[in-house]
Amino acid sequence: MKQIAVVSGKGGTGKTSLVASLAALAQGRAVVADCDVDAPDLHLILRPEIKEKREFLGIKRAVIDSSKCTFCGSCEEHCRFKAIDDFVVDSLLCEGCAVCKLICPAEALSMVDRLSGYAYISETRFGPLVHADLFPGEEASGKLVAMVRELAREQATSRKLDLILIDGSPGIGCPVIASLTGVDIALVVTEPTVSAVHDLERILGLAEYFQVKAAVCINKYDLNPDVAHHIEEICSQRQIKIAGKLPFDQTVVKAMVLGEPVIKIGGPAAEGIRELWRALELCL
């Protein structure tokens, strides 16, 4: 089984639009996993029919039983996350460590499970999709990403599919690390802007840190040909393959509005994506 993670460093470079097209090109041989759990958008194009829904319990939260509390203030003093104020726990700040419970002399604190989101196993017109919703403002996005990837592996095994396509989140932190570890290829989508180049170098550094092979897709390469050329130089120095170069194409947004992958609409970006898919297949 092979796994491709589409990541980017910088947000909004076109990961999800690209993954939707790759899902269509894979023609039912892939399980798609939307690992951008706190801003998941892939379902807007793949329009899944949900078959199974699983609860996601993130981190536990502290609760103070006011009938037992002696208002000694020990919990507030020891909480390093400043989550206790005036004998009330702020659940947005609580990181579930349970130090307050350990410290409390009156046994007034308990740790409770909290439903933090859902993971879904769905069917789409391009094959199975595993996706999730992290409730707004919740922690533990990395843990939910791990759950989505585990469900995707189960689906691939039971359906005898040999490819998992992962739509990652922007950045280089917890959910990205959870999306990237152990994949066969990290396809990094970038664009020719000063910001995106800076972010590209950080995500390529992260892939190297976790010993994951990377390939790059330059989206909207014609927006600034000089910067695009600079990206090619960076990749050549790092011996990283440019898997594709996609032109700026208004069809991409039109396809998004229609809820269709770009390759189903056509145009220059669609052509570029087809070439990229062929290059990716060779990489695998």
Partner 1 sequence: MIVSIASGKGGTGKTLIATSIAASLDRVQLLDCDVEEPNAYLFFPNIEIIEKADCHVPVPVVDEAKCTHCGICSDFCAYHALAVLPSRVLVFPQLCHGCGGCTFACPEKAVSEMSREVGKIIRARSSGIELVWGELCLGEARTTPLIRAIKGMANGELTIVDCPPGTSCSMVESVIGSDFCLLVTEPTPFGLYDLDIALKALKKMHIPCGVLVNKSGIGDKKVYRYLEKRGIPLLMEIPMSRRIAELYSQGTIFVQEMPEWKERFQDLLNDIKGLVS
Residues in touch with partner 1 (CB under 8 A): 8-13, 16, 37-39, 41, 44, 59-60, 78, 80-81, 92-93, 95-99, 102-103, 134, 136-139, 141-142, 169-177, 191-195, 198-199, 202, 205-206, 209-210, 223-224, 227, 250, 253, 256-257, 259
Listing DSSP states for 62-100 in one string gives EEE-TTT-----HHHHH-TT--EETTEE-TTT-----HH
Q: List the structure tokens of 63.
A: 């609760």
- Give the 3-state secondary structure of residue 221: helix
Q: Which residue number, 76 or 139, has a Cβ lying nearer to partner 1?
A: 139
Q: Cβ 138 to partner 1, closest distance in Å?
A: 6
Q: Cβ 152 to partner 1, closest distance in Å?
A: 20
Burial of 185 (0-12, 13-18, 19+ CB in 10 A): buried
Q: Cβ 57 to partner 1, closest distance in Å?
A: 12
Q: Which residue number, 102 or 284, has a Cβ lying nearer to partner 1?
A: 102
For the chain, the C-alpha Rg in angstroms (whole number) is 22
Taking a C-beta distance cutoff of 8 angstroms, is the pair 105, 70 a contact? yes
- Give the 3-state secondary structure of residue 271: helix
Q: Cβ 219 to partner 1, closest distance in Å?
A: 10
Burial of 57 (0-12, 13-18, 19+ CB in 10 A): middle
Q: Which residue number, 195 or 236, has a Cβ lying nearer to partner 1?
A: 195
Q: Which residue number, 173 or 266, has a Cβ lying nearer to partner 1?
A: 173
Q: Please, which residues have CB within 8 angstroms of residue 77's CB and are 6 or more apart in sequence?
A: none
Q: Which residue number, 1 or 50, has a Cβ lying nearer to partner 1?
A: 50
Q: Cβ 127 to partner 1, closest distance in Å?
A: 21
Q: Which residue number, 159 or 213, has a Cβ lying nearer to partner 1?
A: 213
Distance CA 106, CA 65 (A): 10
Distance CA 77, CA 102 (A): 13
Q: Cβ 170 to partner 1, closest distance in Å?
A: 4
Q: Cβ 96 to partner 1, closest distance in Å?
A: 5
Q: Which residue number, 46 or 156, has a Cβ lying nearer to partner 1?
A: 46
Q: List the structure tokens of 6.
A: 């589409």
Distance CA 243, CA 277 (A): 8
Q: Which residue number, 163 or 240, has a Cβ lying nearer to partner 1?
A: 240
Entry field: residues in the chain:
284
Q: Cβ 148 to partner 1, closest distance in Å?
A: 14
